[in-house]
Structure 1
């Protein structure tokens, strides 16, 4: 069985779960323009157009991956039991959570339905991935920033969850995500400093370091009804410093050879942009205004460039192929 998602009908057997990172990036992009519409008076049609494209792509990618599960269960099992790809399984539930957030302004009923589907799925993937980490003989070199994906997903739950379920649910997922963010961050710093460098295709995943504190800031504001205190400022400051540090190391990033992992640039940048927009909504300062506009422009350039390279890779038949 084959799919039109992959150019020249590439086999579904090689359809990578990492493609859900596209949905994560575009959903974050749509949420940015939803916030910009409310806070900076941007056109509503920017948000609506991006959300439309995002939804279409999600339906295509999700349907294709479900066909892969039905047609090539062994290939899917191989991804679940892979030290790197296993973390991307949670990108399915994270994509649903982000779509839930993105639809909250446009169609709140659909948003709540998506949330009730995504939240238990997110808990399931977190349990599955963590069980895999504990039960398998992994090495330090197997660890990489993509391991944050199943953790960050938990921190997303309160954004809609505060309005969809009892507050305990949001506090549970927020606590889970924040605690294991610190645990994994310690592991990653040890791996990066004292062990071999990450493979070239994984270098873009460094940007995932931005996501936990940035998303944590957004969720904390939602849980506390917009409270700006030492903890919220701590989360935003860590996210902002991480962005500055990664930009300071620009020479580390190779833009010559495209990998699907380039989409790891997009969602974390969207997260810090959303956090900055929320800061501007609170402080209304010149600094937060300029920072918001600058980050929106930067994110738009990054998403546009990565999307272009992805389309070119599809046309060149470099996606949905065996990695062996």
Structure 2
């Protein structure tokens, strides 16, 4: 039975995907000579989706606090709680050029809300005993959000505040990557509905590159290139494993494809903006086309799932 009680926190990944695509088109406008209207159109769609999902989730929190508590204490869904604050941060980044006051407002909410979620998620991990099979790439979400903070934060707060968030994200990415890799190699494969979360592995180094690019005021050095090349290797590795994804039925987790693809696209555009390399231009265009197709295809599949009343129903564990 469909009910607001089962409105999934994972739907905030929709905002992550749309925001990532809007930001990618903003960079394409600035550096690839793309028209302005795709960015503006996506920004409007992203804003509408954000308020629709956020207000609905707040109503769920008021009406069904026990359902929220169940998500907060769930070994997988607890990581998606941080997607709320990440959505604020990504909206902030998306509005950086169009409306700086809106960007600043969303940044202040998102940055400190995400720090709160980070502390709580890490405390949750420490206090509970988990079976290793519960660990999955979605656990990166509360960590990746910290690396997002400096992207807009460079124009808002002291450099050491931005370095604080950047350091947290990079350090715990390395720690979690080790744990997730151990789980993937030595234990059972991920359940089908979590297989799309493999794409989250692209996001930490790709977003780390973007964040470092902003912190260093546009310089590209050995450290930043290491981050980008790790993201690029992971992207190609996942492409080679495409058979894992092509036969999967639709899950909300399909949105995990979208933001990481947007992140590697934005990173590539930024590299082109520095080096003006012809091949990087066309690679940027190809990645932009790929992420556009993926976002709109996943959005279409989500629409079909909503129409078929397969959203906001009890999930099988």
> CA-to-partner distance for each residue in 1:146-185, whole Å, 9 max, x for gaps?
0000000000000011110011110000000000000000
Match of 2:257 in 1: 265
- Root mean square deviation, CA, Å: 0.9
Q: TM-score, structure 2 length as denominator?
A: 0.99
Match of 1:189 in 2: 181
Q: Which of residues 22, 35, 44 is equivalent to 1:52?
A: 44
- Is residue 176 of structure 1 aligned with residue 149 of structure 2? no
Matched residues in 1 for 2:231 and 2:84: separation?
A: 24
8 A Cα contact 2:80 2:138, kept in partner:
yes
Q: Which of residues 16, 20, 40 is equivalent to 2:12?
A: 20
8 A Cα contact 2:82 2:114, kept in partner:
yes
Matched residues in 2 for 1:101 and 1:71: separation?
A: 31
Q: Which of residues 253, 258, 283 is equivalent to 2:245?
A: 253
Q: TM-score, structure 1 length as denominator?
A: 0.96
Q: Which of residues 210, 220, 223 is equivalent to 1:231?
A: 223
Unmatched tracts of structure 2, length 5 or more? none
- CA shift for structure 1 position 255: 4.1
- CA shift for structure 1 position 290: 1.1
- Is residue 76 of structure 1 aligned with residue 68 of structure 2? yes
Matched residues in 2 for 1:34 and 1:196: separation?
A: 41
> CA-to-partner distance for each residue in 1:12-67, whole Å, 9 max, x for gaps?
10000000000000000000000000001111110000010110011110000000
Matched residues in 2 for 1:255 and 1:277: separation?
A: 31
Q: Which of residues 12, 31, 35 is equivalent to 1:43?
A: 35
Unmatched tracts of structure 1, length 5 or more? 1-8
Match of 1:116 in 2: 108
Q: Which of residues 126, 129, 136 is equivalent to 2:118?
A: 126
